Structure 1
Amino acid sequence: MSNTPNAPTKSTQAFLAQAAIAFGIAFSGTIVGILYLPLDIWQRGFLLMAGLFLVSSTFTLAKVVRDQHEASRVHSRIDEARLEKLIAEHDPFKVM
């Protein structure tokens, strides 16, 4: 067993900055691409709405996945604590 089996992982500031910059570049590139496409205004509007919906649903999906992962960690910690309590209370030499 490792010393810290359920140690929380934390992203570094550099990783957070890289992720934010990458998101900003990708989002800006999509918006600029939509604006400069040779399309009618309603076609650009459709692409813009689809892009915004994609971004918002991506954030929602990431939050749901994170919440499920955290919930499973809490359940496993509770189960481990119950097992440790049972083992600590168990006396193999106790006569029933």
Structure 2
Amino acid sequence: MSTAAAQPKSSGAFLAQAAIAFGISFAASVFGVAYLPLDIWQRGFLIITLLFLVSSTFTLAKVVRDQHESSRVTHRIDEARMEKLMAEHDPFRVPGV
């Protein structure tokens, strides 16, 4: 009755584009901080801030992905329950007989 929804997969080109974009933006940020006319402690603060930003971005992406996957699983379970109820229902059955 129910066909399992195909899991969408990212293409290799999309994965490569995302990885390259991340690498270039991170390298450009580090390069920019390294060549700013700042003291060492100011430069260190910016580097720590950049690293914290990157790590929190990865954490946020994982949380969003996990929430999406759990809601999809819950939806599929509810859908399976409804299909079971509809399959067991007999509209021609007389109640109490």
Same fold? TM cut 0.5: yes
Quick check: 1:53 aligned with 2:47? no
Q: Which residue of 2 aligns with 1:17?
A: 16
Aligned length: 94
Letter in 1 for 2:23: G
Runs of 4+ in 1 over 4 A off after TM superposition: none
What's 1:69 paired with? 68
Residue identity opposite 2:17 in structure 1: Q
Identity %: 73
Distance 1:61 1:6 in 2: 26
Give the root-mean-square deviation of aligned CA atoms.
1.5
TM-score, structure 2 as length reference:
0.92
Match of 1:35 in 2: 34
How far apart in 1 are the matches of 2:15 and 2:75?
A: 28
SS state at 1:94 partner: coil
In 1, Cα distance between the equivalents of 2:41 and 2:62?
32
Gaps of 5+ in 2: none
Deviates more, 1:6-15 or 1:38-47: 6-15
Structure 1 gaps of 5+ residues are none
With structure 1 as the length reference, what TM-score do the two structures score?
0.93
